């Protein structure tokens, strides 16, 4: 995996952010199971609730193209080391329990995490499968 390429793509995506209300730009780039890269930016809407984060934009683009496994994601924002929000952490979990998360300010200044570090004791698809199995066993 070329971490620097993923970071470069996130930086490029950040420039496309539509943020007329907060002015806070975020870009993300994900690496799928077959080494394709999809990027995304945050998009704000005046009524706020339909706003979408960069991470989810990139993930949903990949999923809409048939990819359901994320190997890595790079995130770049206007703050010093911008981390994914809770909703984005859960979406990352859905498509990649073993995803490497790269939080970057630049190609040289980044931190890397396992999802478990950012979302311990997470809930995922296998939890629903085990609950369904338990109901059938009763």
Which residue numbers are catalytic?
A: 55
Would you say 83 and 74 are in contact if contact means Cβ atoms under 8 Å apart?
no
Q: Tally DSSP H helices, then E strands, for the chain.
A: 5, 5
125-132 long-range contacts (CB < 8 A, ≥24 apart) are: 125/94
Cα separation values, 20 from 33, 41, 48, 85, Å: 34, 13, 11, 20
What is the Cα–Cα distance from 116 to 81, expressed in whole angstroms? Answer: 18
Would you say 102 and 85 are in contact if contact means Cβ atoms under 8 Å apart?
no
What is the Cα–Cα distance from 96 to 57, expressed in whole angstroms? Answer: 15
């Amino acid at each position: 995996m070329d971490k620097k390429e993923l970071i470069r793509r996130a930086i490029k995506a950040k420039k496309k952010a539509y943020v007329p209300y907060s002015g806070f730009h975020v870009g993300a780039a994900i690496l799928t199971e077959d080494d394709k890269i999809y990027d995304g930016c945050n998009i704000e809407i005046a009524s706020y609730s339909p706003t979408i984060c960069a991470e989810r934009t990139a993930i949903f683009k990949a999923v809409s193209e048939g990819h359901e496994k994320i190997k890595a994601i790079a995130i770049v924002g206007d703050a010093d080391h911008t981390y994914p929000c809770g909703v984005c952490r859960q979406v990352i979990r859905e498509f990649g329990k073993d995803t490497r998360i790269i939080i970057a300010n630049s190609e040289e200044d980044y931190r890397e995490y396992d999802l478990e570090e950012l979302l311990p004791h997470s809930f995922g698809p296998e939890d629903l499968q085990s609950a369904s199995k338990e109901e059938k066993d009763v």
